[in-house]
């Protein structure tokens, strides 16, 4: 039953056409967009224009980025005329992360995407139709976008991201006349904080009211699910991550994945850690602490228990391996092999949470079937 409700929610969210006419922001002054969880951006409204600020564009950033969003008929104060200016609503956009794609889909703006680096990674069925019809230009590898083809597209804006603060390529884009907007959703620690970046994308289409309505539905689903397990006393222990090279990578205790496991009624063994990124541990350290864990969730690209054992036979010593309590989040792949979890997961933390509760407490959601996750055999 819950699966059906989630599916209905998904369909209803991407088809709210009638709400569009309510979303034009006009005449607002000295107001700030209400945010409940997101901490990395702000939107302030003035007479005829908006100021969008990305307050934390990358990890350990010491500067922010401001953008002035203005309608064609509005006049800006002279003090703002040298700022980064973007005309809204935008009519075309180039995105650089698959996590940006659901933001367009849910706002009914799928048709505005004109370019993307490595389009095979996109899983969205709505966007794949557009790609297959030749309406989205493949711009090459993300780290080395073909600037000539980008300029030929003449998009109103490119939505980009940076991990370490390297803004060089985006400076080149802006010098060539393409406004580059930084999206730092990945830095949000709360799952609903990442989903709330829908409101960020909405500002460029004047669809804040629609975005707020969609987000409220997702938030309600998330909190209703969390309440199902909020009073559980005996929480199953959880291990996560795998080894790359000589290092075991797993979410830090303040990472959004850790929050999801906690909200699902799980005892993530590294939850007390204070970092929001990823931990880099030795195999021995994880072995000592996680050997007798109950579940192992998130095993990268591994698809079978045999593949895990062949990668390192020590994995077979862990309790979840022996009990077949190992789950991957890559159950759903796009038409060209892209991960639907990595694309849609930021936007739909309620679906991830439902999966985790089903794994840890199957009796709580007896009719629900896993969406992103699957058990390895």
Residues of the chain with CATH 3.40.50.1980: 22-220, 233-375
Q: Which helix (H) or strand (E) segment is 54 a member of? A: strand 49-54
pLDDT for residue 324 is more than 90: yes
pLDDT for residue 17 is more than 50: no
Q: Which fold has domain 233-375?
A: Rossmann fold (3.40.50)
Question: Which residues, at least 6 apart from 49, have a Cβ–Cβ distance to it below 8 Å?
Answer: 68, 69, 70, 71, 74, 76, 80
Q: State residue 76's pLDDT score.
A: 81
Stretch among 65-69, 76-80, 113-117, 124-128 having the lowest mean pLDDT:
76-80
Query: If pLDDT is split at 50, 70 and 90, which confidence band does 21 have?
Result: very low
pLDDT for residue 32 is more than 60: yes
Q: Where are the alpha helices (DSSP H) in the chain?
A: 2-13, 101-106, 125-132, 147-153, 168-175, 191-195, 198-203, 208-229, 256-263, 283-290, 305-311, 319-323, 340-344, 349-360
Task: Give helix then strand counts, H and E, for the chain.
Answer: 14, 18
pLDDT for residue 14 is more than 70: no
Strand ranges across the sheet with 247-251: 242-244, 247-251, 278-281
Among the listed residues 249, 293, 255, the one whose alpha carbon sits nearest the alpha carbon of residue 275: 255
Neighbours of 153 (CB within 10 A): 16
Measured between alpha carbons, how far is 249 from 278 in angstroms, rounded to an integer?
6
**Peptide bond before residue 89 is cis, with ω within 30 degrees of 0:** yes
Mean pLDDT of the chain: 90
Q: For tokens 């199953």, what's the residue?
A: 236
pLDDT for residue 106 is more than 70: yes
Q: pTM here?
A: 0.90
Tens-place pLDDT, residues 217-266: 999 999 999 999 999 989 999 999 999 999 999 999 999 999 999 999 99
Q: State residue 10's pLDDT score.
A: 38
Q: What is the mean pLDDT of residues 103-112?
A: 98
CATH code for the part of the protein at 22-220: 3.40.50.1980
Q: State residue 28's pLDDT score.
A: 41
Q: State residue 157's pLDDT score.
A: 95
């Amino acid at each position: 039953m819950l699966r059906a409700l989630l599916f209905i929610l998904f369909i209803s969210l991407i088809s709210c056409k009638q709400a569009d006419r309510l979303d034009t922001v006009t005449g607002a002054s000295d107001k700030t967009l209400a945010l409940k969880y997101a901490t990395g951006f702000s939107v302030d409204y003035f007479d005829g224009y908006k100021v969008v600020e990305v307050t934390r564009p990358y990890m350990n950033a010491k500067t922010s980025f401001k953008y002035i969003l203005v309608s064609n008929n509005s006049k800006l104060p002279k003090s703002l005329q040298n700022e980064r200016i973007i005309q809204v609503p935008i009519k075309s956009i180039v995105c650089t992360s698959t996590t940006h794609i659901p933001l367009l889909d849910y706002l009914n703006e799928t048709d505005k995407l004109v370019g993307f680096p490595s389009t095979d990674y996109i899983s969205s069925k709505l966007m794949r139709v557009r790609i297959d019809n030749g309406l989205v230009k493949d711009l090459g590898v993300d780290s080395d976008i073909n600037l000539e083809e980008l300029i030929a597209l003449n998009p109103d804006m490119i939505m980009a991201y940076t991990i370490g603060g390297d803004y060089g390529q985006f400076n080149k884009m802006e010098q060539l006349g393409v406004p580059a907007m930084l999206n730092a959703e990945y830095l949000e620690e709360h799952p609903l904080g990442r989903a709330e970046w829908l409101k960020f994308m909405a500002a460029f289409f004047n669809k804040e009211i629609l975005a707020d309505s969609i987000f409220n539905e997702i938030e309600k689903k998330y909190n209703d699910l969390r309440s199902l397990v909020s009073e559980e006393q005996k929480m199953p222990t959880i291990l996560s991550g795998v080894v790359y090279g000589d290092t075991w990578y797993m979410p830090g205790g303040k990472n959004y994945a850790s929050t999801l496991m906690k909200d699902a009624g799980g005892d993530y063994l590294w939850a007390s850690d204070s970092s929001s990124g990823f931990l880099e541990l030795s195999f021995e350290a994880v072995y000592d602490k996680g050997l007798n864990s109950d579940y192992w969730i998130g095993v990268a690209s591994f698809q079978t228990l045999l593949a895990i054992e062949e990668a390192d036979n020590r994995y077979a010593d862990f309790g979840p391996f022996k009990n077949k309590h190992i789950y991957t989040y890559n159950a759903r792949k796009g038409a060209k092999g892209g991960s639907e979890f990595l694309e849609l997961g930021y936007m739909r933390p309620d679906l991830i949470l439902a999966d985790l509760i089903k794994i840890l407490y199957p009796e709580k959601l007896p009719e629900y079937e896993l969406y992103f996750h699957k058990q390895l055999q």
